[in-house]
Each structure stands twice: as structure tokens, then as C-alpha cells.
Amino acid sequence: MSNSDKVETLRWVGDVDGHLVLIDQTLLPVDFQEIECKSVEQVWEAIKQLRVRGAPAIGIAAAYGVCIGLQSASDKAGLQSRLNKSIDYLATSRPTAVNLFWALDRMKAKAGLLQGESVASIQEALLKEARAIHDEDREMCHAIGRYGAALLEDGNGVLTHCNAGGLATAEYGTALSVFFTAQDEGKSLRVFVDETRPLLQGARLTAWELSRRDIDATLICDSMAAQVMREGKVQAVITGADRIAANGDSANKIGTYSIAVLARAHEIPFYIAAPSSTFDLAIANGNEIPIEERSSEEITHGFGRQTAPTGVKVYNPAFDVTPAEFIKAIITERGLIDPVSEANIRQVLGRV
């Protein structure tokens, strides 16, 4: 793959009877390998095991998963049963990223409008809806990049955490879209990439994406962020988000809250970049965001090697919540939310 190639983390192959193809992100950056998902169970496993990850990409994969689930339906009753079972099953794959539930709800609502149609027509319409979700995310990512790039000046140092690039979305990403767009506009940035323990999404994925685009990227351990900030090398912090509450509290990969606290201590603006589909205005604040807890082996046996005593207790939350007060602005496809407040969020998103 050349540096000019765009990352296409997932794609649909064929027509109604087609299937989903994903980059297996658990193998990056050493091996680039795609996997075929031809059953709902394979899509669920890919989401659960982080073969596909990132809130927008999870939502897109789930929408296509619904289409796969309907392929075996031969009559209206069977289709409705398969629809409900597929949506309910896919919803159990991961609890924190709201895009998953947003996409499944959208597919269910679309099906509800097609009650009088034939099985074939419903299958075709739902595949069209899944493709629309995919295409819309691509457009939203580029819009986020345009709004975000305006916040950065040529020569800025920027820090990011986890991976919010093309691998996590339809194309370009959210946080990384800001960097890619700034590059397109002729700006030169120096990006500091947190490794992002325990699964190293920053080291394995973000550093890989930035390197392919010839962006000046420097990988650091998570615990080095404060020192890099103290040395004056960082002028802004930009991360993605997996769910944003009505008041602006934002859930993202574990460690993001720590970075926001450090940024505030060093008077560095901290930005969240996320599409409107990542907002969950049904929950008042971050206390209501469900936090996924993953297996202890991710910490005690990272990438297959034991690094902790046998039997030691482990707590492994996959996400944390950054309070709205720590966020300078949220960069969306509809513009900047600055200051971050419920009233401003609803105004910018058009959900007053």
C-alpha cells in the first residue's frame, strides 16, 4: 500500500446477497489482512474482538450486519424475525459506542416504513440505507476535518490519544481528519501519538495511518504526555469520542480523561472531534454513559506475553469520561460547539 492510498477499513462487496469485508485491525501494523464477514455472527465477533473498532466504523459494520442477517429470509414473517434477532444480537457486541445503537435504530426505523413492501424490496432498501450510513459518515469526516484544521496553525505540535482515523470511520476519520485536512491545506504539523495502553491503538494504528500520509508523527508512552506538554511541544490536543452526553461530557478510550486534565494544567486547548451521530442527547451527563469493562488478560497477558503475577486482581475499563468543562470545543460536521454546553450542543446540532 502506498502513502497515497486511502484507508478503507470496511466495504460491502456485491449486491443484496453480498458480504462485508473488513481490515483485521488486530493484526496491524505488521500484517495488512482483510476478512470476509458472511454471517451476523462473524460481524458480531469482528466488533467484539476489535477487528473493526472506532464508533463510526462500528455503526457502519452493524448496519451491514443487519443486511447480512436478512439474506436467509424467504417470507415477511421470517424477515421480521431475522431483523429483530439480528439487531438485538448485534447490540450486545459493545456497550459504549453510541453509533452502534444509532445505526441499528436507523435500520429498524427504515424497515418499519416498508411494511407493505416485498421481501426483496425491503432487503434492497435496507442495503441502500446501510450504504447511505457509510457514505454520510465519509462526508461528515471530511467536514469535521475542515472545521478542525482551521484551529491549527502551520508548525503546531498536536497530541492525540487512541485512534480516530480512517480505520475508525468510513474515511479520513474524526481527530485524524483534522490532521489530514491540515496537510491537504499545506500546513505542517508535528503529531505526538500516545501509545494508548493496554491495546496500543495509538502505536499500532494511529502511528501507522500518519506514517502512510508522511505526517511528522512521534510515538510516546501514555505517561510521557505531561513531560511533552511541559516542554512546550504541544499547542493542542485532539481526540475522538465514542459517546457524548447532552451536557458535553465525552466518553473516549481509557486515558483520555487524564490527557484532558494534563492539558488544562498546562493551559493547552483540548478538543473532541466527533460526528453528530456520536451525541446521545437522551442522557444528561457522563455518569449515565455505560463503560465497557474488558478482560483482565488484555493487561496481564498483553499480546500473548505474561507481564503480571498469576492471579493478580485487574480492573480494565475500556473508556473514561472527560467532563465538558475540560473541553475547549467539540468539532462536528456542523461546526464548532464552543463553549461546550447543552444549549449550544442542541443549537449546533439542530436539536433544540
Assess if residue 289 is contained within a domain.
yes
| Whether residues 214 and 114 fall in one domain | no
Q: What is the pLDDT of residue 5?
A: 58
Among candidate residues 126, 141, 156, the one where a domain is terminated: 141
Positions annotated as catalytic residues are 242
Asked whether residue 297 falls in the same domain as residue 264, the answer is: yes
Are residues 110 and 198 both part of a single domain? no
Residue 231 CA to its chain's centroid (Å): 30
Q: What is the pLDDT of residue 4?
A: 46
CA distance 28 to 172: 17
Sheet architecture: strand order including 243-245:
279-280, 243-245, 250-253, 319-322
- CATH number of the domain that residue 14 is part of: 1.20.120.420
Query: In Å, how far from its chain's centre is CA 204?
Result: 15
Same domain as 137, residue 180 = no
Helix 55-69 and helix 76-90: axis angle, to 10°?
A: 150
Is 1 within the bounds of a domain?
A: no
Which of residues 119, 141, 163 is at a domain's end? Answer: 141
Would residue 5 count as lying in a domain? no
Instruction: List beta partners, residue 322.
Output: 250
Sequential pLDDT tens for the chain (352 residues): 334 456 789 999 999 999 999 999 999 999 999 999 999 999 999 999 999 999 999 999 999 999 999 999 999 999 999 999 999 999 999 999 899 999 999 999 999 999 889 999 999 999 999 999 999 999 999 999 999 999 999 999 999 999 999 999 999 999 999 999 999 999 999 999 999 999 999 999 999 999 999 999 999 999 999 999 999 999 999 999 999 999 999 999 999 999 999 999 999 999 999 999 999 999 999 999 999 999 999 999 999 999 999 999 999 999 999 999 999 999 999 999 999 999 999 999 998 7
In a domain, 95, yes or no: yes
For residues 53, 162, 309 and 296, what is the CA-based torsion angle, rounded to 10 degrees?
-30
Residue 322 resides in a domain: yes
Residue 252 β-bridge partners: 320
**HEC secondary structure over the chain:** CCCCCCCCCEEEECCCCCEEEEECCCCCCCCCCEEEECCHHHHHHHHHCCCCCCHHHHHHHHHHHHHHHCCCCCCHHHHHHHHHHHHHHHCCCCCCCHHHHHHHHHHHHHHHCCCCCCHHHHHHHHHHHHHHHHHHHHHHHHHHHHHHHCCCCCCCEEEECCCCCHHHCCCCCCHHHHHHHHHHCCCCCEEEEECCCCCCHHHHHHHHHHHHCCCEEEEECHHHHHHHHHCCCCCEEEECCCEEECCCCEEEECCHHHHHHHHHHCCCCEEEECCHHHEECCCCCHHHCCCCECCCHHHHCHHHCCCCCCCCCCCCECEEEECHHHCCEEEECCEEECCCCHHHHHHHHCCC
Q: Total domain count for the chain?
A: 2
Q: Are residues 250 and 156 in the same domain?
A: yes
Q: How distant is the alpha carbon of residue 113 from its chain centre?
A: 29
User: Which pLDDT belongs to residue 115?
Assistant: 85
Do residues 118 and 171 share a domain? no
Q: What pLDDT, on a 0 to 100 scale, did the predictor assign at position 351?
A: 87
Q: Pick the last residue of a domain from 99, 116, 141.
A: 141
- Same structural domain, 253 and 130: no
Beta partners for residue 317, in sequence order: 293
Pick from 150, 155, 179: which is nearest to 166 by CA? 179
pTM of the model: 0.92
Dist. CA 103–CA 87, nearest whole Å: 10
pLDDT digits (tens, 9 = 90+) for 21-75: 999 999 999 999 999 999 999 999 999 999 999 999 999 999 999 999 999 999 9
Give the list of residues 6+ apart from residue 213 with CB closer than 8 angstroms, or none.
3, 180, 183
